[in-house]
Amino acid sequence: MTNNRELDVIVYGATGFTGRLVAEYLNNQYGVNGELNWAMAGRSQAKLEQVRDEMGISAEVPLVVANASDLDSIKVMVGRTKVVCTTVGPYQLYGNELVEACAAAGTDYVDLCGEPGWMHKMIEAHSDAAKASGARIVFSCGFDSIPFDLGVLFLQQTAEQKFGRTVPRVRGRVRAMKGTFSGGTLASFRATMAAAAQDRELINVLRNPFSLSDGFMGPAQPPGNKPEYDEVLQSWIAPFVMASINTKNIHRSNMLMGHYYGADFVYDEMMVTGPGDKGEAIANHIANDNSMAEDKTQPGDGPDKEARETGYYDVLFVGESKEGELIRVSVQGDKDPGYGSTSKMLAESAVCLVKNPEAASGGVWTSAPAMGSLLIDRLQKHAGLTFTVED
């Protein structure tokens, strides 16, 4: 058990762009020597000290030197804490040993992973060890995929209260979003594309909406790869770049919760572009946009504070019962999705596991079945997210 560990949370990658934001959030929200014992970890003691001083974080916050290429240092770090909160990606390049060490040591783990091929491998490789040790490994605790994973859960809980049952069809619709992709997200995208070029099996994993569902195959899902007119919303919709990650996580959540949403559950995720010719033109423009593949942003790069502070997102979820009854809920975030909001979601996921050791047993999880309403409450209380029933 991890109850006797000296630290609650270690932020691994604390000198990187997103890692700094996580450390800043924990410092501002929980301070030092308060209700949370946390530390900053990275490859260089000198860089850790520099970042800590630059950010005005107390010298009492411990610093931990660990490097993905030094397995002994990873094992020592993992043995000191209840939860490792890692921003060191692409995870397929730098995450293997860390997940293995956490699964073996019974140490909880949260990350920002949007790499389904790597997640598929980690689930196969380390689920048994995590179940045996009690380690709760929770992937995708940032913008991919918390607002979507918890948004669908929140909708289904609301449907159960309103209709007495969950609904088999949910549409995820991004109504508004202001922010940029992180350098880490782009690096993960590039690493995944490079790996797929070498591995035919990986292409099948990326294409299959149920590839993280431990062999379960549900009904055919909407392709979501071209503009279309959404009759329910009376609006044009366009492909959403995070959908291929989020949909897999949501189907995994459903499977891990014993198909709470139903074995016939259908889900898709698109961007709302508006009605009429203008909406259609915007949808076509988005569908043909190749800027993510061409973006030169690197890990460690990111927007300035003003851009992060003025960002936001608004996601609508529309549930439909077999009888055609509709229910609408939304999830909004008060900062840019890729950095400002993501860093808060990741930090609160780590704290949620610390505060709720009973929330889930050992295994490889997604956010909804692992933390569910406990995390929704924390995000609304501390992290600037709002979950709203719109009907």
Determine contact, residues 112/339, Cβ cutoff 8 Å.
no
Q: Where are the alpha helices (DSSP H) in the chain?
A: 17-30, 45-54, 71-80, 91-94, 96-105, 116-133, 146-163, 183-198, 200-207, 243-256, 276-287, 291-294, 305-310, 342-355, 367-370, 372-382
Whether residue 124 is found in the same domain as residue 111: yes
Give the per-residue pLDDT at 298.
65
> Cα separations (Å) of 317 from 167, 200, 236, 387, 388?
12, 34, 16, 11, 10
Q: What is the mean pLDDT of residues 295-323?
A: 82
| Pick from 170, 311, 175: nearest CA to 247 | 170
Query: In the prediction, which pLDDT does 190 show?
Result: 76
Q: How many CB atoms lie within 10 A of CB 111?
A: 27
- Same-domain status, 154 and 295: yes
Residue-wise pLDDT for 128-167, tens only, equals: 999 999 999 999 999 999 999 999 999 999 999 999 999 9
Cβ distance 342 to 17 under 8 Å?
no
* Mean pLDDT of all residues in 263-281: 97
Same domain, 349 and 328: no
Q: Is 221 exposed, middle or buried (0-12, 13-18, 19+ CB in 10 A)?
A: middle
**Percent of the chain scoring above 70 in pLDDT:** 95
Q: Give pLDDT, residue 175.
A: 96
Residue pLDDT, tens place only, 333-378: 998 888 889 999 999 999 999 999 999 999 999 999 999 999 999 9
Residue 361 falls inside a structural domain: yes
**Between residues 90 and 150, which one has the greater pLDDT?**
150
pLDDT at position 243: 93
CB atoms inside a 10 Å sphere around CB 8 = 22
Q: Residue 210's pLDDT is what?
A: 97
Q: Residue 162: name the closest of 151, 154, 173, 170 by CA.
A: 154
Same domain, 81 and 138: yes
Residues 131 and 186 in one domain: no
Q: What is the pLDDT of residues 4-25, one digit of tens each?
A: 899 999 999 999 999 999 999 9
Instruction: Identify whether 277 is part of a domain.
Output: yes
Examine the domain organization and report whether 41 and 86 are in the same domain.
yes
State whether 132 and 184 are in the same domain: no
Asked if residue 375 belongs to a domain, the reply is no
To which H or E segment does residue 312 belong?
strand 312-320
Could you tell me if 114 and 195 lie in one domain? no
Burial of 382 (0-12, 13-18, 19+ CB in 10 A): middle
Pairwise pLDDT comparison (237 vs 187), residue with the higher score: 237
pLDDT at 181: 63
352 and 281 belong to one structural domain: no
Within this chain, do residues 260 and 304 fall inside the same structural domain, yes or no? Answer: yes
Question: Are 159 and 278 found together in one domain?
Answer: yes
Tell me the average pLDDT of the chain.
92
pLDDT band at 290 (very low <50, low <70, confident <90, very high): confident
Provide the whole-model pTM.
Answer: 0.94
Within-domain flag for 1 = no
Of the chain, the percentage scoring pLDDT greater than 90 comes to 80
At position 38, the amino acid (one-letter code) is W
Indicate whether 37 belongs to any domain: yes
Q: What is the mean pLDDT of residues 292-315?
A: 74
pLDDT digits (tens, 9 = 90+) for 113-135: 999 999 999 999 999 999 999 99
Contacts of 185 (CB under 8 A, 6+ apart): 114, 144, 338
Rounded distance, CA 363 to CA 57, Å? 34
pLDDT at 197 over 80: no
CATH number of 54's domain: 3.40.50.720
The pLDDT of 28-47, averaged and rounded, is: 92
Residue 84 belongs to some domain of the structure? yes
What is the three-class DSSP state of 9?
strand
Tens of pLDDT, residue by residue over 243-257, are 999 999 999 999 999
Cα 170 to Cα 228: distance, rounded to the nearest angstrom: 17
330 and 348 share a domain? no
pLDDT for the residue 299: 62
Dihedral of alpha carbons 200, 286, 368, 9, sign: positive
Identify whether 2 is part of a domain.
Answer: no
Whether residue 1 has pLDDT greater than 60:
no
Residue 236: half-sphere exposure toward Cβ, Cα within 13 Å: 18
Domains of the chain: total:
2
Which domain does 244 fall in, by range?
146-335+383-389
Looking at the domain assignment, is residue 236 inside a domain? Answer: yes
